[in-house]
Homo-oligomer: A and B are copies of this chain.
Amino acid sequence: MTKKMSFENHIMKQFDEELEEIRTQLMEMGGKVEQQVQNAVRAIVEADSKLAEEVILEEKQVDSMEVDIDEACILIIARRQPAASDLRLVMMVTKAVNDLERIGDEAKKIANHAVLLASQSGATEGYTEVRHLGKSVCSMLSNALDAFARFDVDAAMNTLEEDNQIDLDYKTALRSLVTYMMEDPRSISRIINIIWVIRSLERIGDHAKNLCEQIVFVVKGKDIRHQK
């Protein structure tokens, strides 16, 4: 082996390690926001404002994870000048990190509503809807992150499909909530809070869908966004 080749191998190895490091950071961030969503939903249905406060405080951590990973991506491009699939991977990470941050943001919004709701009357209309939709969304997010960890295109494509069911469940929940408001106009302010919660859950489903599309993009090199 010539000295030059050995040097190049060394560079490649460093590059692989840096890529792996970014992926690990991304998965950590994914695990973090997944837990935030689970806790935010639990905080609503168990009227646990302490747990909600924790979710709200954790948002700062998620935000700085986003900035750190983004910075690492720019550095890796500048230093390693990756091409083809490596470049696609790094570009995908900068998109994924943005979706994860927005999921954390929605979890924080849910937690804010949990604090409000816990401080109000003991009424529980709408909680069944939140629990039900929350369960589907958490499961979809978890599947999306698993597919991400394994770069599994088939799993990503299957998980994508889950978003359709979530959209249907969201619409059904919304109709029930509007009916509660009509039956008891005094509950309007309270139910509006629940409506924001289910809207946030629906948005989290959309972001999980984006993650799946990014996996397909990085593995297949095919942009499947905006295809119905």
Contact = CB atoms under 8 A, between A and B. Distances in A.
Interface of A: 60, 63-64, 66-67, 70-71, 73-74, 77-78, 81, 83-84, 87-88, 91, 94-95, 98, 178, 181-182, 185, 188-189, 192, 195, 199, 223, 225-226
A74 B98 contact: no
Nearest to A177: B192
15 contacts: A60-B226, A63-B225, A63-B226, A64-B226, A66-B226, A67-B223, A74-B87, A74-B91, A77-B87, A78-B84, A81-B81, A98-B98, A178-B189, A181-B188, A185-B185
A205 to B, nearest CB: 15
A66 B213 CA distance: 15
A199 B81 CA distance: 41
A90 to B, nearest CB: 9
Contact of A223 (B70, B87, B226): B70
A169 B21 CA distance: 43
* Copies of the chain in the assembly: 2
Counting from the closest, the 3 A-B pairs by CB-CB distance are A63-B226, A81-B81, A185-B185
Contact of A98 (B78, B95, B189): B95
B74 A78 contact: no
Contact of A77 (B60, B77, B199): B77
Contacts of A226: 60, 63-64, 66-67
A188 B180 CA distance: 11
